[in-house]
Amino acid sequence: MDGEVGMQEEIDRIAAQLLAARRDGAPIPPISERIALGQDEAYRVQLAQVDAWRREGRRVIGYKVGLTSRAIQRQLGVDQPDFGHLFDDDVVLSGEPIPAGRFIQPRVEPEIAFVLGRGLEGPGVTVADAIRAIDVAVASLEIIDSRIADWRITLPDTIADNASAGAVVLGTAPVALAGRDLRLTGGILRRNGRIVHTGAGAAVLGSPVSALVWLVNTLGRAGTAVEAGSVVLPGAITAAVPAEPGDVISADFAGLGSVTARFAVASAD
C-alpha cells in the first residue's frame, strides 16, 4: 500500500511539473533520468494532466497516435506506438497565424487525419470495422512539442507528456475513403516553399487504418471507447521538421489537397 501511495505521489508530482512546463514555456529535465517510470505509470501521468485540463473546461475531441514509424520504434527500443489526447483548443485553421511562443520546441509532421462517423469500442475491432467507422480522411499537419528539454525523450517521457502533442492543423477538403488505398497516398512536406520530405501512408504501420485499429483496441482494453465525431491522427508519413517563428510549413497529399501551418514572426519587444 505504501508503495502505491508513493507512486501516486510521484505521478502527481511529475504531472504538475509537466503542466507547469506547458504553462510557463520552460521545459523540464527528462523524467526517465530521474525516476524509473513504466508505460502504465507514464499513462497515469498523462491522464492526471487530462483530468486537470478537463477541469479547466477543455474538451477531448480525439486522439493522436505516435511512434508509428518502424525506424523510430527501433530507435527507442519499442515494438508498438503510443497515444495522446487531442483537445478542442488544439485545432488550428490552415493558414491561420500561430502565435510565437505558443510552443516550446515545435516540430511539424504531415498526417492523414480521420474523422469518425460512428464510434468504435475495442478490443476486437478489425480493419473492416475501422474502415466502416471512418467518415472522412483529411490532410493535416501535427505540431508536436515536447515539455522535455532538448527532446531528450524515452518512451515513458513522451507518453507522460501526452505523446508530445502540441496542436493539429486540419485541411479543408475532407474526402471519403471509398476506393482509396491510403497506403499509396503520397505526401510532400515543404518548409518555406522548399521540399524537405516526401512519404506515403504505408509508412504508418503499413497503413493509417492499422494505427486507428491499434488505438481503438488499446483504449478498449482500458475500458475507453472512441466516440463518433472523434478526430484521430494516426501517425506521420514523413519525419518531422523543426519550426521557427516566421516559418510556413505545408503539406500536399495526393487526392486530399493541401494544408498549411503559418508560424508568426516573434514580436520585437
Q: pLDDT tens digits for 92-107?
A: 999 999 998 999 999 9
Q: What does the mean pLDDT of the chain come to? A: 93
As beta bridge partners, residue 199 has: 187
CA atoms within 13 A on the CB side of 142: 31
* Beta carbons within 10 angstroms of residue 202's beta carbon: 17
> In Å, how far from its chain's centre is CA 234?
8
Question: pLDDT for 119-147, tens place per residue?
Answer: 999 999 999 999 999 999 999 999 999 99
| Confidence check: pLDDT of 1 > 70 | no
Please give the model's pTM, rounded to 2 decimal places: 0.94
Integer CA distances (angstroms), 62 to 115, 174, 216, in order: 9, 17, 11
Q: What is the pLDDT of residue 213?
A: 98
Q: What is the pLDDT of residue 202?
A: 95
List % helix, strand, coil for the chain (3-state, nearest 5): 35, 30, 35
Q: What is the pLDDT of residue 6?
A: 80
| Confidence check: pLDDT of 171 > 60 | yes
Q: What is the pLDDT of residue 268?
A: 59
| Confidence check: pLDDT of 149 > 60 | yes
Q: What is the pLDDT of residue 22?
A: 96
What is the percentage of the chain residues whose pLDDT exceeds 70? 96
Mean pLDDT of 48-58: 98
Q: What is the pLDDT of residue 3?
A: 67
Q: Given pLDDT bands bounded at 50, 70 and 90, which one contains residue 85? A: very high
Contacts of 262 (CB under 8 A, 6+ apart): 95, 96, 97, 98, 248
Domains along the chain with CATH numbers: 2-263 (3.90.850.10)
Burial class (CB in 10 A: 0-12, 13-18, 19+), 192: exposed
What are the start-end ranges of the H helices in the chain?
A: 2-24, 39-55, 70-76, 127-133, 155-160, 208-221
Q: Which three cell numbers stand for residue 101?
A: 511562443
Q: Given pLDDT bands bounded at 50, 70 and 90, which one contains residue 225? A: very high
**How many helices and strands, by DSSP H and E, does the chain display?**
6, 13
Question: pLDDT for 181-212, tens place per residue?
Answer: 999 999 999 999 999 999 999 999 999 999 99
Question: pLDDT for 246-269, tens place per residue?
Answer: 999 999 999 999 999 999 997 755
